[in-house]
Structure 1
Amino acid sequence: MPFLIALVLGVGVLCLIDLVLTVGVIRRLRAHEEMLRARPVASPPIVLPPGAVIGGFSAVSTDGVYVSDEALTEPVLVGVFSPGCSACEDRLPQFAERARSFPGGRGNVLAVLVGAEEEVADERRALEPVALVLIEEYGTGLTKALQVNGFPSLALVDGRGRVVASGTTLEDLDKIPVHA
């Protein structure tokens, strides 16, 4: 009987030690989680931020109009879309609506469709009445000049090639920084 009591007490002490250690580990994990949450996440911007100057590019629109960084003389509205992107499907009609009333008309609106001609045919038809449409591969042309890292990417670019506002929504374009 004394052996059994000693065994039960020993098991109880081991369980108590295990419980204390487990509580300590949980506290440490929570502390690490809080430190990780407090750490800023450095993800690259989806497109060049306001104040940046776009890189060089040149292209010919689907209707034969030559466009380039050097040809920019007035503010330009730019939208970059990709087929199969659900956010692009949502934002493309909004972009087209904004393009209809953009100062300077379709000559000051560039719509970049990233993909093969047959993949972007529907988007092309929707955008050609309101924008100069460029079809290109990702990482070339205007997507490279704007450093596009995701879709959709939208930007307002001034006549000197400086980004005035950028983001993934039209609301982002309405938030023009004070220094712009």
Structure 2
Amino acid sequence: MPFLAAAVVIVGLLCLLDLLLTVGVIRRLREHTEQLGQLSAAGGDSGSLPIGAHVPQFEAGSIDGEPIGLDAADGTVVGFFSTTCEPCKQLLPEFIDYAANLPGGRSRVLAVVVGEDGDGAATAASLSSVAQVVVEHHSGTVATAFRTSTFPTLYVVAPDRQVMVSGHTMDVLRSPATAGAIG
């Protein structure tokens, strides 16, 4: 009988310990959820530049052989697409349609296709009529300047190279705030 009482006490202590650990995990999850919410509200994440950040100077070559940087055009739209990203493939037709109807034409749109050598040719070709297109590796000049590692990522950048809009869906480009930023 003493053995049974000891077993019940041990099981009870183990259940209490499990309960304390569960409460601790729930508290940490709430903290992380709050931090992610604050990060999201700030307009950015670890895979892109947040709203208000300044894009550093960069130079790259387009698929047409033209040098690319951020022009002084107000509200330059920048889209990053990966060749291995299914959401990118789904977003691409909407982005092309949006860019085709953008005032100022392709000079106000920069599309960056990120992939391995030769992977981005078809994607780049589909974008070339509506955007200046750069094809590069994940650690390429433009992706590094924008600190972009998640795809797709969309930006609107002001003439002073400040990020005015940042996000991962076409909703960010269609919002009233974006319409004012593009002018």
Taking structure 1 as the reference length, what is the TM-score of the superposition? 0.84
1:23 aligned partner, one-letter code: C
Counterpart for residue 5 of structure 1 = none
RMSD, aligned CA: 2.0
Q: Which runs of 5+ in 1 are unaligned?
A: 1-8
Following the alignment from structure 1 to structure 2, what is the Cα–Cα distance between the partners of residues 45 and 72? 27
Tell me if 1:125 matches 2:125: yes
Following the alignment from structure 1 to structure 2, what is the Cα–Cα distance between the partners of residues 72 and 138? 26
Displacement of 1:138: 1.8
Deviations 1:118-171 (A, max 9, x none): 201110121111111111122222111111121111101112211110011111
Q: Is the 8 A contact 2:138 2:149 kept in 1?
A: no
Counterpart for residue 29 of structure 2 = 37
Displacement of 1:45: 2.8
Counterpart for residue 87 of structure 1 = 87
Taking structure 2 as the reference length, what is the TM-score of the superposition? 0.83
State the aligned residue count: 169
SS at match of 1:39: helix
Tell me if 1:173 matches 2:146: no
Q: Is the 8 A contact 1:76 1:157 kept in 2?
A: yes
Q: Is the 8 A contact 1:77 1:102 kept in 2?
A: no
Counterpart for residue 148 of structure 2 = 148
Q: Which has the higher helix share?
A: 2
2:100 aligned partner, one-letter code: R
Following the alignment from structure 2 to structure 1, what is the Cα–Cα distance between the partners of residues 109 and 12? 65
Following the alignment from structure 1 to structure 2, what is the Cα–Cα distance between the partners of residues 116 and 19? 56
Counterpart for residue 162 of structure 2 = 162
Counterpart for residue 51 of structure 1 = 52
Displacement of 1:26: 1.9
Rg: which structure is higher? 1
Give me the identity figure in percent.
28
Following the alignment from structure 1 to structure 2, what is the Cα–Cα distance between the partners of residues 116 and 16? 61
Following the alignment from structure 2 to structure 1, what is the Cα–Cα distance between the partners of residues 58 and 25? 44
Displacement of 1:117: 4.7
Aligned to 2:15, which of 23, 38, 48? Answer: 23
Q: Which runs of 5+ in 2 are unaligned?
A: 40-44
